[in-house]
A and B are shown apart, each in its own frame.
Chain A
Amino acid sequence: MATDYQIQRETDLETIDININVGPQHPATHGVFRMILTVDGEVVRDIDPVIGYMHRGNEKLPENCDYRQVIGYHDRTDYLAQFNTEHCYVLAVEKLAGLQSTERAEYIRVILAELNRIASHLMFTGAFGTDLGLPGTAFMYAFREREVIQEFFEELTGERMMYNYFRPGGVAWDVPENFRARCRQVLDSVRQGIEDLDSLMVDSEVVLARCRGLAPTATGDAINWGLTGPILRATGLKHDIRRAEPYSIYDRFDFEIPTGTTGDIYERLMMRLEEMQQSIRIIQQALDQLPEGPIMAEGMKRILRVPAGEIYMRVESPRGEYGVYLVSNGSDKPYRHKVRGASFSNLSALRQMAVGNYVADVILILGSIDIVLCEVDR
């Protein structure tokens, strides 16, 4: 019939979902993450994440190591926030062993951990720009400043990535004479870099169109899914372990905890940009207050034996709650060593956040979680 316009979709036009394998070798999966997308045209109907390609036994191996040797393994869990993870581990050991690190060492730790937070967030911003489709511009902008921070760390620790600088009871060696001046110089450079990134990404029409309102997350959902860190704060919950459960010397500093309202991708980006500013504030206060004195607690023995007991210590890493669970049986090695990676918990909500969105958006949502696969797989 010529007048019959009705297309009977069920019979005439049959569509099928196809599976697309994204990763483990794909430019947008931030490492060796793999997800099998079931797509209906451009819309993702299901996500099957596959992890484990980076598993190295980073929880079991330290159980055969001396308490000081374990520090290196924490550099390798979250390789973008090494000082934050080291901080968590040494605090756990100190708490279990009843040690108290010196004032100076604690200030140095906080300064380095906050600088590392900035470096990690810069890395996120750059990689997020690449996910968005900026061909390397945001990445290079971010990496210029990250390089400044890394050079500073390298001068101090002799390493570019695996610093291995914190020790139970203090830090490995004292900072050089020009530490304050050099650190301020780094901060000036970083502040300029954040401004550049702001002007490139924050008010761009395309970034707004792509990111605003994408994957909005309610606070209740975020808590149920176990999200922590900037993703949780983007939903509006003012939860930062530095404030909620002050560890180290964070109760001495004056800083804001940025929060969002809708928890969408744009706010997650803004959280990170704002947290960098707050980290700069903390570092400046810490530099002003940095006392002279010893960098290692007195009475440290050559072999550290920790009394029997168990402890869970958590810190606010750039990605969220990074926790270390230690069980000691009184020997010089941890009996049980468990890591709670923020990336792992955050990544487990990917399916809930991403299903029903477009393929291009799923890449963005994955990027906004800011996963580090070494921390996911451990």
Chain B
Amino acid sequence: MIADNPWLDAVARMGIVAVVVPVTVIILTWLERKVIGRMQMRLGPMHVGPYGILQGLADTIKLLSKEGVRPHSADRWTFELAPFVIVVPVLMSLVALPFTADIFVRNMTMGLFYILAVSGLSIVGFVMAGWGSDNKYALIGGVRAGAQLISYEIPLILAVVAVAMVAQSLNLNVIVALQHDTPFIAYQPLTFLIFTIAGLAELYRQPFDIPVAESEVVGGPFVEYSGIRWSMFQLGEFVSMVLISVLASLIFLGGWNWPWSWLSNGDVPTAAQIVLMAVKTGAFIMFFMWMRGSMPRLRIDQLMSFCWQMLLPLALLQIILNGLVLVYDWPNIILTVLSGAAAVAAVYLIYRLARASGVRYQPSALGGQRVGSVL
């Protein structure tokens, strides 16, 4: 407790979050530009501060001072409210997200449920931005965002449900405490795979950056936004990235407990908790940045069929497996073996499917028939 009065305590904690989060985002934008720059044999930002570390700050000041342009024909309130509808739910979900055993705003019994429920609301913002901009690129981007984010919400939630089944709790502190000896990734490798892919899609980052595809819809829902409103989208994107990364480290990698608790067989000091969480979260964030630098973009129909035909059945399979293990009280090793086998099979299937002969003959609307080879 920071203060004795619970209201004052809540306000103080939220204040800390409100300061820490933008600073984190500023650092992350700089880091991403550095990482991607290095991947592309560039230096990235170098001029503002040592190694360009202040570049994010400079960009923030620039964006804050820029004129906010609203197209004449845009739907005023839809257009102006959309950035907030995206950012506010993401920030709200941080309320229930513990970073260590002691650092959190509120320890909720239904924390996992709350986070997924609230952060899912930001989809509305994308559709609003796409609709309200009165721009066809934005419209297509907004509709794509709606379709993609709603579809991938389902495997993401089912993956979390699978973990909650094993943990028999929705309280994140309890879930982490349960991973004292073994992180849940050992029991749920398939779920981890699904969660990571669906999380990547929820963040609309490569290879799932279809709503904002630069070479097709030129930024999608954000195409008409400028200045502070545009930076709100950026803020939302990076906070979501942190959110998904922290969540993945909490429910799969043992959060602040494992492997210190396993090695010392006791409590973990707060400093070690912070380091453990920073390393695990950082690894996820680096993974997301790595994907961004090295993966081309999928197409919308491939994205949807991958979700509904691949991730969703796999997530349901894992849930059935968990149910069997829980009902018949089988040993946990069975979960490891079966889930791991399913994960390997899934990866192999993707590998084979991508390389299968895939000539799609589609009748051209102009009636261009295939003429046989002349030679």
A residues neighboring B (CB under 8 Å) = 18-21, 26-28, 39, 42, 45-46, 129-137, 139-141, 144, 200-201, 204-210, 212-214, 216, 218-221, 223-224, 235-237, 262, 264, 351-352, 355-361, 363
Contact = CB atoms under 8 A, between A and B. Distances in A.
A355 to B, nearest CB: 5
Lowest 4 A-B CB distances belong to which pairs? A133-B297, A220-B371, A132-B296, A140-B40
B136 A28 contact: no
Contacts of B292: 135
B360 A214 contact: yes
29 contacts: A20-B136, A27-B215, A42-B140, A133-B209, A133-B214, A133-B296, A134-B294, A135-B36, A137-B39, A201-B296, A204-B296, A205-B354, A206-B207, A206-B295, A207-B296, A208-B354, A210-B297, A210-B299, A213-B359, A216-B360, A216-B361, A218-B372, A219-B371, A223-B374, A224-B371, A356-B363, A360-B210, A360-B300, A361-B299
A180 B126 CA distance: 58
Contact of A218 (B209, B297, B298, B370): B370
A218 B371 contact: yes
Contact of A140 (B41, B362, B373): B41
A140 B43 CA distance: 12
Given A135-B206, A218-B372, A363 B298 contact: no
B321 to A, nearest CB: 26
B4 interface: no
Contact of A236 (B42, B144, B299, B373): B373
Which secondary structure dominates chain B's binding surface? loop
B239 to A, nearest CB: 21
A135 B294 CA distance: 8
Nearest to A212: B358
Nearest to B350: A205
Interface of B: 36, 39-42, 136-137, 140, 144, 206-207, 209-210, 213-218, 292-302, 350-351, 354-355, 357-366, 368, 370-375
Nearest to B359: A213
A214 B360 CA distance: 7
Contact of B298 (A45, A209, A359): A209
A264 B295 CA distance: 21
Contact of A220 (B216, B293, B366, B372): B372
A240 B173 CA distance: 68
A204 B296 CA distance: 9
A133 B206 CA distance: 8
Contacts of A133: 206-207, 209, 213-215, 295-297
B340 to A, nearest CB: 21
A264 B218 CA distance: 26
Contacts of B294: 134, 137, 200
A136 B40 contact: yes
Given A135-B293, A137-B39, A264-B359, 18 more contacts: A137-B294, A141-B40, A206-B298, A209-B302, A210-B299, A212-B358, A216-B359, A216-B370, A218-B370, A221-B371, A223-B374, A224-B371, A237-B373, A237-B375, A352-B368, A357-B362, A359-B140, A359-B216
A201 B209 CA distance: 18
A209 B360 contact: no
B41 A205 contact: no
B66 to A, nearest CB: 21
Contacts of A18: 136
A224 B374 CA distance: 11
B48 to A, nearest CB: 21
Contacts of A361: 299
Nearest to B372: A220
